[in-house]
């Protein structure tokens, strides 16, 4: 404003000569000069008032901020601290896959994590499989995405359901899960609790064949034997063998049978009421589509001008990641993006807690029956190695 008025006062005479404006009479010029001075004064006043107000506001803002800082303890940064620490430490997840041989377990795992976990797999022929017992094979791979490290362990169960006599073929699997709980319990009760290796199984993908009319007796027995120990997620394998209508019927049938036989498969946690509508809708769709009907493939094919993971047949292409072809994407999102942490929490808070409570109960009963004072003799402690001995000595000295 100031600048504009000054310009007007000094440049009017120039305008008079260049634009041929009529020269101002003395009185008008005097009036203009006074008005300009008055306007200048007013504008200066206005601006300084404005500056003062701004300064006052700034001062108040600073004071408020200082007051706020005084009241701000700082625990609002806790999530950031946890985030930083967890990213540094990395994550681990143990996934078990179970189901008859040839159901597409390895192909699905490779498709899920985009790795080749089964490079050295040796397939047995029919004769070798007659008396084959269920084996437990662990594959571990470290994957990293955007700086976040995940140690993924896949526990495979070759031989399950393959023998002529499948009586109790789930026993080695339940034993394995118990052994991991036992190991964890032992480590947790030991001296060196800092670096406990957690090998507990967080989730079991159970492959149901697409060819039958629902669950087979072996499926029912397997799930019943494991449902109190691990989060079971039932899958319909090789879903490209079925039409959409057949998939729907099979899913309904399996859901009915799961209810009928009292099998407790993994339950998705209830959605909070304050979640947004989109999230609620996704959650609803997820719950409705179990058991997931999946398709796996290790090959990339060309479909609609794009390279996609799929299966090429003489009559067309089945796309693994096409949601109108199968539930692979829903399963992957659930397993990795939305529910991995919940699967770990349920393992720790429900399944392991049950095992631990049972163990302590047994120990207490044993102590009572044998009039013992310490529960230690029943705890399956391994003989201490040199490092443990050293640690015990150090602790003794400290005491």
Site string for ligand GDP, 233-252 (x = CB under 6 A): -----x-xx-----------
231 forms part of the interface with ligand GDP (CB under 6 A) = no
Cα–Cα distance, 96 to 175 (Å, whole number): 13
Binding region for ligand GDP (CB under 6 A) out of 96-104, 174-182, 216-224, 371-379:
96-104
Q: Of the two residues 254 and 295, which places its CB atom closer to ligand GDP in the complex? A: 295
Minimum separation from the CB atom of position 312 to ligand GDP (A): 11
Instruction: Report in angstroms how near the CB of residue 101 gets to ligand GDP at its nearest.
Output: 4
Among 92, 105, 339, 347, binds ligand GDP (CB under 6 A): 105
Is the CB of 47 or the CB of 116 nearer to ligand GDP?
Answer: 116
Mask: binding to ligand GDP, 285-314, rule CB under 6 A, as x and -?
----------xx------------------
User: Which residue number, 238 or 351, has a Cβ lying nearer to ligand GDP?
Assistant: 238
Minimum gap (Å) between residue 233 Cβ and ligand GDP = 16
Pick 247 or 359: Cβ nearer ligand GDP: 247
By CB atoms closer than 10 A (0-12, 13-18, 19+), residue 24 is: middle
For ligand GDP, the closer of residues 233 and 295 by Cβ is: 295
Among 23, 59, 61, 102, binds ligand GDP (CB under 6 A): 102
Q: What crossing angle do the helices spanning 353-369 and 171-189 adopt, rounded to 10°?
A: 70
Please report how close the Cβ of residue 317 comes to ligand GDP at its closest, in angstroms: 12
* 104 touches ligand GDP by CB under 6 A: yes
Report in angstroms how near the CB of residue 108 gets to ligand GDP at its nearest.
6
Please report, to the nearest 10 degrees, the dihedral formed by the alpha carbons of residues 337, 339, 340, 344 taken in order. Answer: 170
CB of 204 to ligand GDP, least distance (A): 14
Told to check if 107 binds ligand GDP by CB under 6 A, we report yes
Number of residues that bind ligand GDP (CB under 6 A): 12
Q: Which of 93, 94, 98, 106 binds ligand GDP (CB under 6 A)?
A: 106
Site for ligand GDP in 306-365 (CB under 6 A): none
> Smallest gap, in angstroms, from Cβ of residue 97 to ligand GDP?
8
**Relative orientation angle of helices 2-19 and 26-71, to the nearest 10 degrees:** 150
Segment contacting ligand GDP by CB under 6 A, of 6-14, 56-64, 103-111, 366-374: 103-111
CB contact set of 108 (below 8 Å; sequence gap of 6+)? 97, 205, 207, 235, 237, 294, 296, 328
Query: Can you tell me which of 8, 36, 101, 303 binds ligand GDP, judged by CB under 6 A?
Result: 101
The binding site for ligand GDP (CB under 6 A) comprises 101-107, 238, 240-241, 295-296
């Amino acid at each position: 404003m100031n600048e504009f008025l000054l310009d007007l006062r000094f440049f009017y005479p120039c305008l008079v000569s260049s634009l041929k404006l009529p020269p101002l009479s003395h009185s008008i010029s005097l009036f203009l000069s006074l008005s300009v001075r008055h306007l200048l004064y007013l504008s200066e006043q206005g601006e300084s008032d404005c500056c003062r107000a701004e300064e006052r506001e700034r001062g108040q803002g600073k004071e408020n901020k200082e007051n706020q800082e005084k009241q701000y303890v700082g625990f609002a940064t806790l999530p950031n601290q946890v985030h930083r620490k967890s990213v540094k430490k990395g994550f681990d997840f143990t996934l078990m896959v179970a189901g008859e041989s040839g159901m597409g377990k390895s192909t699905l795992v490779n498709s899920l994590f985009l790795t080749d976990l089964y490079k050295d797999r040796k397939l047995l022929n029919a004769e070798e499989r007659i008396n084959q017992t269920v084996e437990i094979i662990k594959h571990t791979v470290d994957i990293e995405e955007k700086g976040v490290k995940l140690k993924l362990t896949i526990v495979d169960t070759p031989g399950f359901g393959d023998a002529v006599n499948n009586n109790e073929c789930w026993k080695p699997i339940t034993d394995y899960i118990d052994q991991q709980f036992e190991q964890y319990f032992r480590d947790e009760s030991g001296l060196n609790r800092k670096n406990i290796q957690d090998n507990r199984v967080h989730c079991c993908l159970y492959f149901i064949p697409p060819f039958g009319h629902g669950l087979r007796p072996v499926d029912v027995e397997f799930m019943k034997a494991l449902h109190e120990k691990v989060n079971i997620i039932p899958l319909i394998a090789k879903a490209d063998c079925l039409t959409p209508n057949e998939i729907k019927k099979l899913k309904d049938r399996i859901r009915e049978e799961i209810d009928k036989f009292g099998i407790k498969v993994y339950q998705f946690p209830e959605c909070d009421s304050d979640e947004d509508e989109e999230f609620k809708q996704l959650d609803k769709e997820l719950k409705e589509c179990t058991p997931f009907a999946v398709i796996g493939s290790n090959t990339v094919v060309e479909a609609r001008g794009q390279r996609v993971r799929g299966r090429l047949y003489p009559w067309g292409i089945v796309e693994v990641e096409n949601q109108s072809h199968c539930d692979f994407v829903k399963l992957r999102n659930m397993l990795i993006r939305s529910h991995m942490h919940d699967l770990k929490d349920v393992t720790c808070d429900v399944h392991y807690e049950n095992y631990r409570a049972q163990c302590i109960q047994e120990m207490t009963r044993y102590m009572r029956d044998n009039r013992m004072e310490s529960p230690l003799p029943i705890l399956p402690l391994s003989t201490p190695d040199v490092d443990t001995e050293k640690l015990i000595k150090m602790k003794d000295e400290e005491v």
